[in-house]
Amino acid sequence: MQQVLPLLVFDLDGTLAETAGDLCATLNVILHREGLPPVALADARKMVGAGARALIRSGFQAAGQTIDEARLERLFGDYLTYYEAHIADESHLFDGVVAALDRFEAAGFAFAVCTNKVEQPSIRLLTALGVHNRFRAICGQDTFKDKGANIAKPDPRFLFNTIAQAGGIPRRSIMVGDSRTDIDTAKAAGLPVIAVDFGYTDQHVSTFAPDIVIGHFDELWDAVAQIERNRA
């Protein structure tokens, strides 16, 4: 029987990669086309994390406007077209990501991505950043469906399905994220969660009570070891 490897499941935007610059730039292209004012990068960092539709809606709200679903879907398509053409103009992996993946892989860990970004842009981004082949599964908000509807975080089924697609099992998996959504998802699935404090959230991530908070990927090794000890 093939051994089931321990699995680290990462969020993408704000966890593995600093992507706010490209996400904000794309949002502002859409807002400009709609005659609305741009959103400052500092404000956009608090808006990203729930996917492009939520980001567009937040951009409209920042301008004191509402948006109906039909218009949102049209702008979502425009957003993806522009974003995919500019997916890594400014985006980059956070410091220490590659070294951490190397260390964990050498120790027998596997990796997956569970993001509310759409799947194909997620793969495209990780390819542009040179790490897509490090992950056994890269799952986005459109990867899994139930009765035609997307399954996305914080629905724990999204995390469970990602783990299964990566060949892992929940009792040997740990979530790593940057937001309340990631923490809520892990808790709903009964998994431990490590939060980075440099991501995209309107409150400090410790507010949402993850198991451990880290400030750099150099700290991930000890954080995982602590969780593994607590599980034993």
Residues marked active site are found at: 11
CA–CA separation, 130 and 6 (whole Å): 23
CA–CA separation, 71 and 23 (whole Å): 19
What sign results for the dihedral spanned by CA atoms 193, 144, 161, 8? negative
Dihedral of CA atoms 47, 120, 193, 52 in degrees, nearest 10, equals: 10
Please calculate the CA angle 170-115-21 and round it to the nearest 5 degrees. Answer: 145
Plot region of 120 (φ>0 → left; ψ -120 to 50 → alpha; else → beta): alpha
The β-bridge partners of 96 are: none
CA–CA separation, 143 and 145 (whole Å): 7
